[in-house]
C-alpha cells in the first residue's frame, strides 16, 4: 500500500505551528490590572485578554467608522464654505 503524501498549504502549516498566537508587550500597570481582573473574576489572564479583545475590537471598529464619517462630512462642509466664500468675493 502506498502512502499518500499530502502537501500542506502554508496557511495550514501556520495554523498547526501556532501562527495564531500573539505576543504583546504592555506596561507593568496594564499587566497588573489584567492580573487583578483575572483574580477578581476567577479567570486566567489569557481569558481576560481574549474577552477584552472580543469586546474591544467591535468598539474600535465603531469608533474608527465614526471618525471616518466625521472627517468626510467635515471636509464636505469645509468645501461648501470655501465655495460660498469664493462666490461672495466675485
- Separation between Cα atoms, residue 5 and residue 2, nearest integer Å: 9
- Give the pLDDT score at 20: 75
DSSP symbols for 26-68: --HHHHHHHHHHHHHTT--HHHHHHHHHHHHHHHHHHHHHHHH
Torsion of Cα atoms, 32 then 33 then 38 then 41, to 10°: 140
pLDDT at residue 59 in the model: 96
Please write the tens of the pLDDT for every residue from 8-67: 677 777 777 667 778 889 999 999 999 999 999 999 999 999 999 999 999 999 999 999
Residue 88 reports pLDDT greater than 90 = no
Query: Cβ contacts of residue 37 below 8 Å, gap of 6+?
Result: 43, 48
**pLDDT at position 9, please?**
78
52-78 pLDDT tens trace: 999 999 999 999 999 999 999 999 998
Amino acid at each position: 500500500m502506498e502512502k499518500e503524501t499530502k502537501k500542506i498549504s502554508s496557511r495550514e502549516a501556520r495554523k498547526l505551528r501556532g501562527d495564531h498566537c500573539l505576543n504583546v508587550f504592555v506596561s507593568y500597570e496594564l499587566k497588573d490590572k489584567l492580573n487583578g481582573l483575572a483574580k477578581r473574576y476567577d479567570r486566567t489572564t489569557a481569558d481576560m485578554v481574549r474577552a477584552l479583545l472580543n469586546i474591544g475590537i467591535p468598539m474600535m471598529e465603531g469608533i474608527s467608522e465614526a471618525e471616518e464619517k466625521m472627517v468626510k462630512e467635515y471636509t464636505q462642509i469645509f468645501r461648501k464654505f470655501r465655495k460660498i466664500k469664493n462666490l461672495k468675493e466675485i
